[in-house]
A and B are shown apart, each in its own frame.
Chain A
């Protein structure tokens, strides 16, 4: 009896839910600092029984604490196209995003199938961007002086040795 219903459902399904896709994310939480790059990795899977057409994947950044977000600043290419997927096939889609503002954000990807079927949305990635830590250039200065100094001494020693035995 159950088998029969299942078979019936399968037969009807293509008509109603043709080409179902799912979007998964690689991680759900990212901590970062202003200016750093984040690599948002997602997996788009065709869970339906039919091949999909060409897909469009779009990344979105939503602020959770009223910080102004201009998506253009975060990534130059928020929209990417995905080649058609066979049933069960999946594709990796990733975005390089620069965290340009400090704040708390949700980042998520949307996949738009061809035609009128429903959008597929990934779970949100919780991104906390801390303000910049102030570094002191003083830390770099000693190294920038000591290394050439040591090598300069080495050059001098070698030259002296050459002269001494001449």
Chain B
């Protein structure tokens, strides 16, 4: 291996890994299938929302809000699942040692896998756009919904992908990793399904602390209640803190937890 080759490995290692992981995900892996299931779900919700509009149960903005919340929630969930499989899954398939044997740094491996997981969120977001458009056209809400989905969804997806990778790296098996990731997802998303959102100050605090409920609540305030983008920025504190903390944790711990065997205490 020449010096130039070493230089290339250092500079582009993560890109090469990301490109291959994306190819694996989209050309031969679960990517298209997950996206298809996602589209079927959004179709069902959109159709129900549209018929409900006719029955006067749902106002137009309400149906856009409903579909956007589901699109973000499920898109983020899929991203988390792909991230949680990224390292523990490779360990189980026995392909991880070969990757560790390349001169690419551990950080580059993590970054490449993070990018690949985020590609699923990007695709999910693109798929959701036509649904938002068909429900929101005519009330000048589509642009706002798309922008909200992009910003909030990306912040949530990135933090979940980073957490998913950490979980995957430290889990002793792929099953454990997926179970922990799903449990986390459930714990974070369950409160969004509770009927009373912030009515008391304690309730409001709970909504604000949880980055998922806080982000979802912000979407609802802007999209549904007609608030300005800057009016409730404080709701974005916990999503932003979460994404920064998760990415920093991944960057700091990544090189140490990306190793041959998962679990605690082993080499």
Residues on A lying within 8 angstroms of B by beta carbon are 33-39, 41, 94, 96, 132-137, 139-141, 143-145, 147-148, 151-152, 154-155, 158, 161-162
Contact = CB atoms under 8 A, between A and B. Distances in A.
A161 B27 contact: yes
Q: Which 5 A-B pairs have the closest CB atoms?
A: A35-B59, A140-B50, A144-B43, A137-B50, A151-B36
Given A134-B54, A137-B53, A140-B135, A147 B43 contact: yes
A147 B61 contact: no
Contacts of A145: 43
Given A96-B227, A144-B46, 4 more contacts: A34-B59, A36-B59, A37-B226, A39-B231
B150 interface: no
Interface of B: 26-28, 32-33, 35-36, 39-40, 42-44, 46-47, 49-51, 53-54, 56, 58-62, 127, 130-131, 133-135, 137-139, 224-228, 231
Nearest to A95: B225
| Interface SS, B side | helix
A141 B135 CA distance: 10
Contact of B50 (A34, A41, A135): A135
B223 to A, nearest CB: 9
A135 B39 contact: no
Contact of B54 (A96, A135, A147): A135
Contacts of B26: 158
Taking each of B32, B40, B61, which has the highest tally of chain A beta carbons within 10 Å of its own beta carbon?
B32
Nearest to A97: B225
